[in-house]
Amino acid sequence: MAVVTRLTWSEEKSLEKMLGNVSLRLLYKSSVHESDIHSMNEKCTHQRPTVTIIYNDVTAMKTAVLETETKINSERLVCYSSGQEVFSVHPGESSFSMNDSLRSTLCIHFRSGSKYSECEVFHVEGIGDDINYISKITGATKHRNSLLVELRTYKPCVDFVSEIRILLLGPVGSGKSSFINSVKSVFQGRLTRQATVGSDVTSITEQYRIYPIKDGRHGKYLPFRLCDSMGLHEKEGVGLCMDDIPYILKGCMPDRYQLNPSRPITPNHPNFIASPSLKDRIHCVAYVLDINSINDLSSKMVAKFQQIQKEVLSYDTACVLLLTKATNCGEIFQGNFSNMDKPMTSQSQIMDASKMLNVPIYNTFVVENYTSEWELDPVKDTQILFVLRQMLRVAEDFFEDLP
Ligand SMILES: Nc1nc2c(ncn2[C@@H]2O[C@H](COP(=O)(O)OP(=O)(O)OP(=O)(O)O)[C@@H](O)[C@H]2O)c(=O)[nH]1
Ligand SMILES: [Mg+2]
In this predicted structure, what is the pLDDT of residue 347? 66
pLDDT band at 130 (very low <50, low <70, confident <90, very high): low
Average confidence (pLDDT) over 129-143: 73
pLDDT band at 218 (very low <50, low <70, confident <90, very high): confident
For the stretch 256-287, pLDDT in tens is: 999 999 999 999 999 999 999 988 999 999 99
Q: Residue 55 sits in which domain range?
A: 9-125
Residue 135 lies in a domain: no
Nearest CA to ligand 1 atom 14: 175
Ligand 1 within 6 A of CB of 209: no
Cβ distance 24 to 18 under 8 Å?
no
Residue 194 lies in a domain: yes
* Ligand 1 pocket test, candidate residues 174, 194, 197, 380, most atoms within 8 A of CB: 197
How high is the mean pLDDT of the chain? 85
Ligand number nearest CA of 174 is 1
- CA dist 122 and 19 (Å) reads 13
Question: Strands, E, within 30-129: which ranges?
Answer: 50-56, 61-67, 69-73, 76-81, 84-90, 95-98, 114-115, 118-125
The alpha carbon of 179 and the centre of ligand 2 are apart by a number of angstroms equal to 9
Ligand 1 within 6 A of CB of 378: no
The alpha carbon of 46 and the centre of ligand 1 are apart by a number of angstroms equal to 42
The alpha carbon of 131 and the centre of ligand 1 are apart by a number of angstroms equal to 32
CATH of the domain at 374: 3.40.50.300
Best mean pLDDT range from 111-120, 135-144, 297-306:
297-306
Residue 209 lies in a domain: yes
pLDDT band at 339 (very low <50, low <70, confident <90, very high): low
In this predicted structure, what is the pLDDT of residue 249? 96
Cβ distance 357 to 365 under 8 Å?
no
Task: Collapse the DSSP code of 84 into the 3-class scheme (helix H, G, I; strand E, B; otherwise coil) and give the result.
Answer: strand
Q: Exposure of 270 by Cβ count < 10 A (0-12 exposed, 13-18 middle, 19+ buried)?
A: exposed
Proportion of the chain above pLDDT 90, given as a percent = 44
- CA dist 87 and 57 (Å) reads 19
- CA dist 61 and 57 (Å) reads 7
Q: Exposure of 189 by Cβ count < 10 A (0-12 exposed, 13-18 middle, 19+ buried)?
A: middle
Q: Clarify whether residues 118 and 158 are in a common domain.
A: no
Q: Clarify whether residues 267 and 357 are in a common domain.
A: yes
Q: Clarify whether residues 256 and 363 are in a common domain.
A: yes
In this predicted structure, what is the pLDDT of residue 140? 82
Residue 320 lies in a domain: yes
Q: Clarify whether residues 149 and 120 are in a common domain.
A: no
Nearest CA to ligand 1 atom 13: 175
Query: Which of these ranges, 110-114, 208-212, 276-280, has the smallest mean pLDDT?
Result: 110-114
The alpha carbon of 92 and the centre of ligand 1 are apart by a number of angstroms equal to 56
For the stretch 167-199, pLDDT in tens is: 999 999 999 999 999 999 999 988 888 788 887
The alpha carbon of 378 and the centre of ligand 1 are apart by a number of angstroms equal to 20
Ligand 1 within 6 A of CB of 371: yes
Give residue 299's identity as a one-letter amino acid code. S
Q: Clarify whether residues 121 and 148 are in a common domain.
A: no
Ligand 1 within 6 A of CB of 233: no
- CA dist 329 and 335 (Å) reads 9
Nearest CA to ligand 1 atom 1: 325
